[in-house]
């Protein structure tokens, strides 16, 4: 079964089940069982053993604690606790009221979230969780649905990180590119120089970010997102699915004192600065060779940095909480209750993330990505359409496996090998198409960790996020695909980029016309 067309069955089964049943854990569980049976050659005891080993491996692997996974899970819980205490102090409400006086429209609230997502570019996990929590009170006040919030957060997590040289993503990609250049004896570019050259070639990033901006400005939506947005506008209920706002409904305070904006800004700023500082210090202690910013960030253990950032953020939040209610009747039960409620608010995403890691590991054992990559390598296609084909295949690999990083590792060397053997001028465009396609697939996949964390950070039902985002992501991918096709035909990156821009302008014109017609109908 491994490395054959049958390896596609378990991931596709899980994805289809998610979309049909709307039950994420059950669907992922079925996908896990199917993948285990495929890997274990349908031997019951071997297959059950594989499932147990993979679940155990999330927490304990190679004779030691799996610190990468465990620290990320702890950070998820700590962010929930910080959010709960900010709400208890009234900081969330105060920040929303402060921003409402400055951001007057629903479009403004969405653009604010977009800008926040671009600013927080260092790591996609941190971006997905933090931006949603900061923007949520403002988008709620302007009746922007949680589905729309999760879409904007997801569109500014991986898409921004993949073009940011100083980020966990940038460092990882530059490392792979360096290995490819050594293997193919390419000396025309440095690895970092090639990464920077590829930034304007990453058409999906610009299409995805441009589409968020256009959707916000045009005030028009389509597909399932339109239903969620209309529901939020008409009823004020920002979620159409039952979402228990445990972190935002703590009523154990000894007083109803009004909160201050600083009760939100200080914990969030501390969390951000502490995490960035921890990433830098971690990289500084682990870096080998020249101590450049790029090398330092590339050597850092991001999971350790997230853990320390979360711990420092919680300590500062607790101290702020104590100072805020100094002289009042505070006791241990207030802290315990806040911790429990904050933890509960993150449990759905916490659990889904564990299941997603398990199915991703089993899919990796099946060789799904390797099989799909082999199709590209063995194909005898026209050079003109190679960037487009690579973009599509990378998207499908990331969609099926739930990991863009895995797709990078599989397809970037293959793209380099094909370009070196056919037309070396296509080397950077083809590698850029791999990056773009992998981010597209990761953006769409219901089993992707960034998709899960975006819905978690935005307090959005996961299936609502996936189903509302899919049409938007496919439109952005269609625009990016046209860019890669014109790039292949013309041989010019700038012609491809202009094609993407024209596609976005046409989309804006169509959406604005729809919005105008709807507004005219309502006036009648």
Is 353 within 8 Å of 307 (Cβ atoms)? no
For residue 200, what is the DSSP state? G
For residue 233, with 0-12 CB atoms within 10 Å meaning exposed, 13-18 middle and 19 or more buried, which class applies?
middle
Length of the chain: 524
For residue 187, what is the DSSP state? -
Kindly report, residue by residue over 165-215, the tens digit of the pLDDT. 766 677 667 777 877 787 778 878 777 778 888 999 999 999 999 999 999
CB environment 356-386: b (16+ within 10 A), e (fewer): bbbbbbbbbbbbbbebbbeebeeeeeeeeeb
Q: What is the pLDDT of residue 247?
A: 40
pTM of the model: 0.75
* Packed helices 493-523 and 462-490: angle between N→C axes, nearest 10 degrees: 140
Q: What is the pLDDT of residue 360?
A: 76
> What is the spatial distance between Cα 320 and Cα 32, in angstroms, rounded to a whole number?
43
Classified as helix, coil or strand, 297 is helix
Q: Other CB atoms closer than 10 Å to residue 183's CB: what's the count?
A: 12
Q: What is the pLDDT of residue 376?
A: 64
For residue 499, with 0-12 CB atoms within 10 Å meaning exposed, 13-18 middle and 19 or more buried, which class applies?
buried
> What is the spatial distance between Cα 189 and Cα 199, in angstroms, rounded to a whole number?
14
The 3 state secondary structure assigned to 224-290 is HHHHHHHHHHHHCCCCCCCCCCCCCCCCCCCCCCCCCCHHHHHHHHHHHHHHHHHHHHHHHHHCCCC
Helix (H) or strand (E) holding 380: none
Which residue ranges make up each domain of the chain?
5-236+258-516
For residue 62, with 0-12 CB atoms within 10 Å meaning exposed, 13-18 middle and 19 or more buried, which class applies?
exposed
Q: What is the pLDDT of residue 246?
A: 43
For residue 105, what is the DSSP state? S
> What is the spatial distance between Cα 396 and Cα 415, in angstroms, rounded to a whole number?
15
Which residues on adjacent β-strands are paired with residue 167? none
For residue 327, CA distances in Å to 93, 117, 255, 473, 517 come to 23, 38, 11, 52, 58
> What is the spatial distance between Cα 271 and Cα 311, in angstroms, rounded to a whole number?
9
What are the structure tokens assigned to 189, written together? 């570019």
- What is the Rg, in whole angstroms, of the alpha carbon atoms belonging to the chain? 23
Residues in the chain, pLDDT under 70: 1, 3, 22, 121-123, 166-168, 171-172, 242-258, 294, 298, 327, 369, 372-373, 375-381, 522-524
What residue spans of 164-202 are helical by DSSP H?
168-183, 191-198
Q: What is the pLDDT of residue 299?
A: 73
Is 400 within 8 Å of 363 (Cβ atoms)? yes
> What is the spatial distance between Cα 324 and Cα 461, in angstroms, rounded to a whole number?
33
What are the structure tokens assigned to 244, written together? 């228990």
- CA 53 from chain centre, in angstroms, equals 27
> What is the spatial distance between Cα 185 and Cα 180, in angstroms, rounded to a whole number?
8
Q: What is the pLDDT of residue 269?
A: 86
> What is the spatial distance between Cα 70 and Cα 253, in angstroms, rounded to a whole number?
32
- Dihedral (C-alpha) 89, 95, 98, 102: value to the nearest 10 degrees? 180
Q: What is the pLDDT of residue 224?
A: 93
């Amino acid at each position: 079964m491994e490395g054959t067309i049958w390896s596609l069955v378990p991931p596709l089964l899980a994805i289809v089940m998610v979309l049909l049943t709307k039950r994420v854990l059950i669907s992922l569980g079925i996908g896990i069982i199917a993948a285990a049976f495929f890997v274990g050659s349908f031997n019951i005891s071997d297959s059950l053993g594989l499932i147990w080993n993979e679940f155990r491996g999330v927490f304990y692997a190679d004779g030691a604690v799996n610190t990468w996974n465990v620290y990320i899970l702890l950070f998820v819980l700590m962010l929930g606790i910080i959010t709960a205490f900010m709400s208890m102090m009234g900081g969330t409400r105060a920040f929303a009221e402060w921003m409402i006086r400055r951001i007057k429209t629903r479009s403004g609230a969405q653009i604010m979230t977009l800008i926040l997502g671009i600013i927080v570019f260092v790591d996609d996990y941190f971006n997905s969780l933090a931006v949603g929590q900061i923007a949520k009170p403002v988008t709620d006040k302007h009746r922007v649905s949680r589905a729309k919030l999760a879409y904007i957060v997801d569109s500014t997590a991986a898409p921004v990180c993949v073009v940011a040289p100083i980020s966990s993503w940038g460092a990882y990609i530059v490392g792979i590119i360096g290995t490819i250049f050594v293997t193919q004896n390419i000396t025309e570019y440095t690895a970092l120089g090639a990464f920077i050259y590829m930034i304007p070639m990453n058409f999906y990033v610009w299409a995805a970010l441009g589409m968020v901006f256009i959707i916000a400005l045009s005030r028009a939506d389509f597909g399932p997102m339109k239903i969620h947005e209309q529901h939020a506008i008409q009823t004020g209920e920002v979620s159409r699915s039952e979402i228990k706002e445990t972190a935002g409904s703590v009523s154990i305070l000894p007083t109803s004192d009004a909160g201050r904006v600083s009760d939100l800004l200080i914990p969030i700023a501390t969390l951000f600065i502490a995490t960035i500082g921890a990433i830098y210090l971690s990289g500084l202690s682990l870096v080998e060779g020249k101590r450049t910013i790029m090398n330092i960030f590339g050597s850092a253990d991001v999971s350790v940095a997230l853990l320390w950032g979360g711990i420092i953020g919680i300590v500062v939040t607790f101290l702020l909480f104590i100072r805020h209610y100094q002289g009042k009747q505070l006791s241990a039960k207030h802290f315990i209750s806040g911790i429990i409620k904050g933890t509960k608010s993150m449990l759905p995403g916490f659990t889904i993330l564990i299941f997603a890691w398990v199915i991703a590991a089993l899919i990796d054992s099946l060789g799904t990505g390797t099989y799909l990559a082999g199709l590209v390598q063995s194909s005898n296609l026209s050079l003109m359409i190679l960037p487009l084909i690579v973009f599509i295949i990378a998207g499908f690999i990331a969609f099926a496996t739930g990991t863009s990083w895995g797709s990078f590792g599989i397809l970037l060397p293959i793209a380099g090998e094909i370009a070196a053997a056919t037309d070396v001028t296509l080397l950077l465009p083809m590698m850029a198409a791999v990056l773009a396609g992998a981010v597209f697939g990761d953006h769409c996949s219901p089993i992707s960790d960034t998709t899960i964390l975006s819905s978690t950070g935005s307090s959005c039902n996961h299936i609502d996020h996936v189903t509302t985002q899919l049409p938007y992501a496919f439109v952005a991918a269609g625009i990016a695909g046209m860019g890669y096709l014109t790039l292949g035909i013309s041989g010019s990156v700038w012609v491809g980029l202009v094609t993407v821009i024209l596609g976005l302008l046409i989309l804006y014109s169509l959406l604005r016309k729809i919005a105008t017609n709807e507004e005219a109908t309502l006036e009648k």
